[in-house]
Structure 1
């Protein structure tokens, strides 16, 4: 039931963002469009930025972050909802989407690395490499969507994977090697 409500609110947010930029949208307007009360909105999301980030991750990255097919599927979804993602990426207000995305991917890659390495703590160099890689991927995804989405998503994802720092590539793609 909660996911259905989130999807309903997300659908209404996409509808609103088709006509106006994120910084001009208020939670009251989202609630009115979704025909919900403010407490219902805040039960599911911290604010409108949290909603936009949830939409992004729900649409784009439902599965394996280390699969070319999965990542390309997410990028193709972004292309399909171009206006929503363009407006989300253009927003530079208090909680820009790219910050949510960066932290989301850092958390996912870090958790996966700790699982593979069977540890509860990563060393500083691995953390730095993960943060650097995620920062680059978020930036290049934005650039691809906003300026160069002619290149197939699969090609972009392969280029991202080939650009992964060697120390984290060994973790994710050849766990038998020592870091």
Structure 2
């Protein structure tokens, strides 16, 4: 792993450790660099703020799960990998999803899934989303994000399989038809 990536993961491990006992909104960059045994300069060389660090770490998850839907995984398989990872990193995600900051993971994840689905559908159908599908997609992404936050912050009691099946079942029929038509071929 390149030195730059190693430092980013070191900072991510530090913030994850701090989140075991403190909310993300109360953790400072000073706390993170102290835990990572590095400097503020090093932190700011890689990230704008602690939320940028958290969102970067989330992006690593997305690259291994969600963003492989339609390429390597079906919709269900990609979501299942995402929720298994969230469950493994329950403390991190529980704290990150509780943040109310404008740059919070909840906002970042919503935009990430909305952009992903939009690009996926447009690439597969070779046309822009209709206003109706755009509305349904935004509504679905917002609702699925809220249910993901609820699931993880309330202890992730249901299995990843159960929550994924519920999220798929909650798709509006017209959106489900478009997504079904764009699945792996």
Provide the TM-score with structure 1 as the length reference. 0.85
Note the aligned Cα RMSD (angstroms).
2.2
Q: What are the ranges of 5 or more consecutive residues in structure 2 without an aligned counterpart?
A: none
2:76/2:164 contact within 8 Å kept: yes
Which of 31, 36, 39 is the aligned partner of 1:37? 39
The equivalent residue for 1:11 is 13
How far does residue 20 in structure 1 lie from its aligned partner after superposition? 1.1
The equivalent residue for 2:181 is 174
Give the alignment of 1:136-175 within 5 angstroms.
136-147=143-154, 149-175=156-182
Higher mean displacement: 41-50 or 15-24: 41-50
Higher mean displacement: 68-77 or 17-26: 68-77
* Matched residue count: 175
The equivalent residue for 1:97 is 105
How far does residue 61 in structure 1 lie from its aligned partner after superposition? 5.6
Higher mean displacement: 7-16 or 147-156: 147-156
The equivalent residue for 1:26 is 28
Provide the TM-score with structure 2 as the length reference. 0.82
1:60/1:74 contact within 8 Å kept: yes
Q: What are the ranges of 5 or more consecutive residues in structure 1 without an aligned counterpart?
A: none
